[in-house]
Amino acid sequence: MITVPVELGERRYKVVVGSGARHLLAQVLPSGIRRAVIVTQRHLGIDVDPGVPSVQLFVPDGEQAKSMAQVERLCRGFAAAGLSRRDVVVAVGGGVVTDLAGFAAACFHRGVAYVNVATSLLAQIDAAVGGKTGVNLPEGKNLVGAFWQPAAVLCDTDTLDTLPRREWASGRGEMAKYAFLAPPGEGGGSDLATLPIGEQVARCVAVKATVVAADEREGAGRMVLNYGHTLAHALEAVGFGSGDRLDIRHGEAVAVGLVFAAELARRLGRIDADRVQRHRSVVAGFDLSGDLPAGMSADELLRFMARDKKSHHDLTFVLDGPRGVEPVAGVAAADVLATLTAMGCRP
């Protein structure tokens, strides 16, 4: 097992990575817990034992499950189970489950403890760590949420054995992001793709833990974790906001977003063509495409990007540059549209 601490003072917790990590659940619960509500999805079939009396609540599959209606349904389930402030919510699943259950836990009784048992690659390296919880609106992804840190996170790499191909792709998109955030020689760049899976997960978690410890509530420092995500969230919003027009997973969208961010940075004179190619190579090294899906509207994507959580009545992007990856505010809409058009968008 590899243990990665997330240093947040009194809210400090550990992320345990390795084969069979989920079986440590009873050991990582906060002291004094008498009851647990386990939130999961029926198709997963992953059993956990919290060591205290528990009930299960099931949420639907897919990004559409991250809704205010599901938050209400979970909170009513917590009430029916008699969950108190001294009890715990256990989220067992991927990013949809951990985002949804974590937000419900943050809301119920104005905050009850929760533990994430992350079962997908995306959840293990990113979504289950750091305390960002939330749900979607038709107007955009994760527009309603809260910062609510888990009491612990368990990343059982055994649960990845049966992960579908596209779920692997979703996690690898986030890994590609961490390849640009990790310090050189510490699992960054192409080195990350060559490590055993447990070490890959732990390296990504360690990078995120360092960023979160320095900036828990997403000031300028934590914004770097959104590298590639401004366009990614816009692509996802197109998908879940308008029927089945676009079928794209989070990591697939992040891979495209990383290439877009590099192309935009080059247009703004922050990086050169070789650095753009480096982005394309890293994305390809994780078996992902950096190309925009066919038929995208540049104007529509720009509208969604303008609603991004980083924005403060302007267009803000996380971009590479001479000082590395950092937030850049006040990007001109014309430059964004020109970059999207050059990548194949229609006006």
Q: In this structure, how many other beta carbons lie within 10 angstroms of the beta carbon of residue 31?
A: 5
Distance CA 236, CA 211 (A): 25
193/11 Cα distance (integer angstroms):
31
- pLDDT at residue 187 in the model: 43
* Residues contacting 249, CB < 8 A, separation 6+: 166, 167, 169, 170, 173
**pLDDT for 190:** 57
Q: Strands 2-6 and 13-18: what pairing?
A: antiparallel
- Among 10, 43, 110, 313, the active-site one is 110
Q: For the residues 54-60, what does the mean pLDDT come to? A: 97
Report all structural domains of the chain as residue ranges with CATH numbers, in order of start: 2-163 (3.40.50.1970), 222-342 (1.20.1090.10)
The answer to whether 218 is a known catalytic residue is: yes
Mark whether 323 is an active-site residue.
no
CB atoms within 10 A of CB 151: 19
Contact criterion met (CB below 8 Å) for 251 and 174 = yes
Catalytic residue flag (residue 165): no
Catalytic residue of the set 218, 275, 280, 300? 218
* Residue for token pair 């974790």: 225
Across 118-134, average pLDDT: 95
Catalytic-role residue among 177, 208, 278, 279: 208
Does the annotation mark 279 as catalytic?
Answer: no
DSSP tag of 271 = S
**How many C-beta atoms surround the C-beta of residue 46 within 10 A?**
16
CA pair distance 343, 293, nearest whole angstrom: 10
The answer to whether 275 is a known catalytic residue is no
Q: Is 110 a catalytic residue?
A: yes
Active site residue 233: yes
Q: Which two tokens stand for residue 166?
A: 């596209």
Mean pLDDT of the chain: 92
Inform me whether the pLDDT recorded for 152 exceeds 80. yes
Please state, in angstroms and rounded to a whole number, the distance separating the CA atoms of residues 179 and 204: 8
Q: Which residue has the higher pLDDT, 87 or 187?
A: 87
How does pLDDT run across 157-189, given as a tens digit for each residue?
Answer: 999 998 999 899 989 999 999 999 976 544 445
Considering 229, 266, 309, 310, which one is annotated as catalytic? Answer: 229
226 assigned to active site: yes
Nearest to 125 by CA among 194, 178, 163: 178
d(CA 34, CA 54): 9
Catalytic residue (choose from 226, 252, 309, 310): 226
Question: Which of these, 228, 227, 248, lies nearest to 236 by C-alpha position?
Answer: 248
Active-site pick, 66, 172, 203, 250:
250
The single residue of 22, 66, 132, 203 carrying the catalytic annotation is: 132
Instruction: State the pLDDT at residue 194.
Output: 85
Q: What is the pLDDT of residues 254-310, one digit of tens each?
A: 999 999 999 999 999 999 999 999 999 999 999 999 999 998 999 999 998 987 755
Residue 116 a catalytic site member: no
Active site residue 312: no
Confidence check: pLDDT of 43 > 70: yes
pLDDT, tens digit (0-9, with 9 covering 90-100), for 324-344 = 999 999 999 999 999 999 999
In degrees, rounded to 5, the angle at the alpha carbon of residue 106 between the alpha carbons of residues 101 and 107 is 100
Catalytic residue among 22, 177, 233, 279, which?
Answer: 233
Q: Which stretch of DSSP H or E encloses residue 37?
A: strand 36-40
Terminal-residue alpha carbon distance, the chain: 50
For 204-227, the pLDDT digits (tens) are: 999 999 999 998 887 778 899 999
DSSP state of 334: H
SS (H, E, C) 114-170: EEEEECCHHHHHHHCCCCEEEEEECCEEEEEEEECCCCEEEEEHHHHCCCCHHHHHH
SS3 call for 268: coil
DSSP state of 300: H
Task: Return d(Cα 1, Cα 14) in angstroms, integer.
Answer: 12
